[in-house]
Amino acid sequence: MKDFYDVIIVGTGVAGLNCALHLPADKKIAVICKNTPDKSDSYLAQGGICRLQGREDFESYFADTMRAGHSENNPAAVECMIEHSEEITDELISLGVEFARNPDGSLAFTREGGHSRNRICFHEDCTGKEITSTLMRKTSQLKNVRIFPETTMLDVISADNECFGIVAMDNGTRKITYMFADYTVMACGGIGGIFTHSTNFRLLTGDGVAICLKHGVAVDNINYIQIHPTTLYTESRAGRSFLISESVRGEGAVLLDKNFKRFCNELDPRDVVTAAIYKQMKKDGTPFVWLDMRTIPADEVRAHFPSIVEKCKEAGYDVFSECIPVVPAQHYFMGGIRSDLQGRTTMKRLYAVGETCCNGVHGANRLASNSLLESLLFSKRAALDIAENFSPADKKTAEYAADNLDKKEYEQPEKLMESYKEAIKKAIKEAENAKPHFGRA
Ligand SMILES: Cc1cc2nc3c(=O)[nH]c(=O)nc-3n(C[C@H](O)[C@H](O)[C@H](O)COP(=O)(O)OP(=O)(O)OC[C@H]3O[C@@H](n4cnc5c(N)ncnc54)[C@H](O)[C@@H]3O)c2cc1C
């Protein structure tokens, strides 16, 4: 079966949705996702989204991002992100996103590790849900956009390093469709699903990255993987690891060893805190360390962190009267499909935005709350770039590319997806051998 679109976007997280929202209304757009649209990491974001605190904050915000990234960041990308942070958060507010406010009505800002001042907009401890559900509501109202849930991208259709769309499978009927497009945007999130312990949705297995590896599209820093210092420790550790947001530490929570003594600076960047926790666990011979939230006024905990309070309660911990056990887990992918500041990859007509791409903004380690901002900004820039330079793809070449696909591969989609996971694991290992990611514990 064949379908034709102007633009296909793979992913319904903030990157995919914001791209759709910024494409022209006269373009026919398909947005697909592997499960229901709300099963994206964007919904899980707790802490918030960064916003520059006036011109005088520029150097400090820039320095914090570079320091966290071990100065391996692309300075132009960092500058671009910071420069547009007010524009992006203002746009969200105009769409209806509600951020926490001070009694005088001004925006309230919280802090997380690696930041030298409060500059993070938040909505309780479910900022991602607030932002993504708003973007989803707005996208669903667009007549030119069709959202396909339960639809898995199995491959791209390409010839001579030019992309003409994707091969997609309806998860229910297992029907394979060639979805042709003048432009294809990968917005397929991170790779946490290939790790045993991760804060990510299990379905996020880096398919876009694997497909790019397969087709010779450049991928950078594939071994640059962020381990978040604090996820709730449970005995089985089954399923997705529940994140205890860094803003808990930003608001004053402390990390304690087995003797309930502090052992690190809780506001260091993530890789530094993670390394300190692993070291302490080894020294103490424990599978976790303690996090004490009783240092934060109870009213503030109730107002700012209701989901964390609830989740800990479900696991049998009362954050108001006892410490909670925490352990590091895979959290974020700094590497990804190489993209420039317009989201363009090394393959013609193929864009990559959000966590699946690597435009260098995070360097070797992402600064807290820079991801939503980066995903929103660069997906918007990709949309504007597509709109500005739109040219129809050659239909004959597209059909020729589809004719030349190895269709046998799609007869066993599970096997294909498994091979993609293995390809990523192998590439990570090779990259780690060639140049270890020093941020990894
Ligand atoms: C628990 C948690 C808390 C976080 N907190 C924060 C925070 O406070 N601030 C911050 O800035 N960042 C935070 N992050 C990181 C941030 O949420 C993500 O980096 C960001 O939302 C990624 O957005 P995205 O649109 O690129 O991908 P996602 O939101 O993950 O969306 C990926 C989409 O791609 C689709 N997809 C994937 N593969 C396929 C395929 N083969 N076929 C079809 N569809 C596919 C999925 O179905 C999904 O719709 C957090 C992350 C987690 C996990």
Examine residue 282 and state whether it is found in any structural domain, yes or no: yes
Q: Mean pLDDT throughout 8-14?
A: 98
| Nearest-CA residue for atom 50 of ligand 1 | 45
- Considering 308, 331, 354, which residue would you say is the last residue of a domain? 331
Q: How far apart are CA 229 and CA 247, in angstroms?
A: 12
State whether the beta carbon of 153 lies less than 6 angstroms from ligand 1.
yes
State whether the beta carbon of 374 lies less than 6 angstroms from ligand 1.
no
Q: Are residues 187 and 101 in the same domain?
A: yes
Examine residue 201 and state whether it is found in any structural domain, yes or no: yes
Examine residue 250 and state whether it is found in any structural domain, yes or no: yes
State whether the beta carbon of 32 lies less than 6 angstroms from ligand 1.
yes
pLDDT in tens, 62-77: 999 999 999 999 999 9
Examine residue 61 and state whether it is found in any structural domain, yes or no: yes
Q: Are residues 66 and 149 in the same domain?
A: yes
Q: Is position 270 annotated as part of the catalytic site? A: yes
* Closest C-alpha to 50, from 374, 276, 385: 374
pLDDT in tens, 12-65: 999 999 999 999 999 999 999 999 999 999 999 998 999 999 999 999 999 999
Nearest atom, ligand 1, residue 205 CA: 38
Ligand 1, pocket-test mutation among 36, 97, 372, 377, most atoms within 8 A of CB = 372
- Taking each helix axis from N to C terminus, what angle separates 371-388 and 75-83, rounded to the nearest 10 degrees? 90
* Closest C-alpha to 230, from 190, 267, 260, 261: 267
Tell me if 425 sits within 8 A of 206, measured CB to CB: no
Nearest atom, ligand 1, residue 211 CA: 41
State whether the beta carbon of 15 lies less than 6 angstroms from ligand 1.
yes
Distance 138 CA to ligand 1 centre (A): 18
The per-residue pLDDT of the chain, averaged, comes to 96
The pLDDT of residue 438 is 65
Q: Are residues 209 and 257 in the same domain?
A: no
88 φ, ψ (degrees, to nearest 5): -70, -45
Ligand 1, pocket-test mutation among 17, 38, 41, most atoms within 8 A of CB = 41
Tell me if 30 sits within 8 A of 181, measured CB to CB: yes
pLDDT in tens, 221-237: 999 999 999 999 998 87
Examine residue 440 and state whether it is found in any structural domain, yes or no: no
- Considering 305, 331, 357, which residue would you say is the last residue of a domain? 331
CATH number of residue 159's parent domain: 3.50.50.60
Tell me if 350 sits within 8 A of 26, measured CB to CB: no
State whether the beta carbon of 379 lies less than 6 angstroms from ligand 1.
no
Tokens describing residue 215: 């087709």
State whether the beta carbon of 152 lies less than 6 angstroms from ligand 1.
yes
Half-sphere exposure at residue 368, Cβ-oriented, CA atoms within 13 angstroms: 34
State whether the beta carbon of 339 lies less than 6 angstroms from ligand 1.
no
Tell me if 246 sits within 8 A of 368, measured CB to CB: yes
pLDDT in tens, 78-122: 999 999 999 999 999 999 999 999 999 999 999 988 999 999 999
CB within 8 A of 309, min separation 6: which ones? 301, 302, 319, 320
Nearest atom, ligand 1, residue 122 CA: 8
Q: How far apart are CA 103 and CA 121, in angstroms?
A: 15
Q: Are residues 141 and 161 in the same domain?
A: yes
Distance 187 CA to ligand 1 centre (A): 9
> According to DSSP H, which parts of 23-126 are helical?
41-44, 58-68, 75-83, 85-95
Q: What angle do CA 292, 296, 299 make, to 5 degrees?
A: 125
Ligand 1, pocket-test mutation among 9, 12, 32, 40, most atoms within 8 A of CB = 40
| Nearest-CA residue for atom 41 of ligand 1 | 153
Examine residue 441 and state whether it is found in any structural domain, yes or no: no
Distance 285 CA to ligand 1 centre (A): 34
| Nearest-CA residue for atom 27 of ligand 1 | 189
Q: Are residues 206 and 287 in the same domain?
A: no
State whether the beta carbon of 200 lies less than 6 angstroms from ligand 1.
yes
How many domains is the chain built from?
Answer: 2
Distance 5 CA to ligand 1 centre (A): 24
Q: Are residues 147 and 238 in the same domain?
A: no
pLDDT in tens, 254-286: 999 999 999 999 999 888 999 999 999 999 999
Q: Are residues 97 and 204 in the same domain?
A: yes
Q: How do strand 120-121 and strand 350-352 relate by DSSP bridges?
A: unpaired
In percent, the amount of the chain with pLDDT more than 70 equals 99
Q: How far apart are CA 43 and CA 240, in angstroms?
A: 14
Distance 282 CA to ligand 1 centre (A): 31
**Longest alpha-carbon distance in the chain:** 70
pLDDT in tens, 318-330: 999 999 999 999 9
Q: Are residues 265 and 389 in the same domain?
A: no
Q: How far apart are CA 113 and CA 40, in angstroms?
A: 24
State whether the beta carbon of 325 lies less than 6 angstroms from ligand 1.
no
Marked catalytic residue, from 51, 111, 249, 270: 270
What is the pTM for the complete model shown?
A: 0.95
Q: Are residues 131 and 109 in the same domain?
A: yes
Q: Are residues 321 and 365 in the same domain?
A: no
Provide the 10 A C-beta neighbour count for residue 277. 24
Tokens describing residue 110: 């919280």
Distance 190 CA to ligand 1 centre (A): 6
> According to DSSP H, which parts of 141-196 are helical?
none
Q: Are residues 25 and 72 in the same domain?
A: yes
CATH number of residue 240's parent domain: 3.90.700.10
Q: Is the pLDDT of residue 439 over 70?
A: no
Q: Can you give the residue range of the structural domain that contains 182?
A: 2-224+334-434
Examine residue 439 and state whether it is found in any structural domain, yes or no: no
Q: Mean pLDDT throughout 189-201?
A: 95
Distance 242 CA to ligand 1 centre (A): 15
Q: How far apart are CA 363 and CA 346, in angstroms?
A: 19
Q: Are residues 122 and 204 in the same domain?
A: yes
- Considering 283, 304, 331, which residue would you say is the last residue of a domain? 331
Tell me if 60 sits within 8 A of 117, measured CB to CB: yes
Distance 341 CA to ligand 1 centre (A): 19
Q: At which residue do the structure tokens 């707790």 appear?
A: 46
pLDDT band at 441 (very low <50, low <70, confident <90, very high): very low
State whether the beta carbon of 205 lies less than 6 angstroms from ligand 1.
no
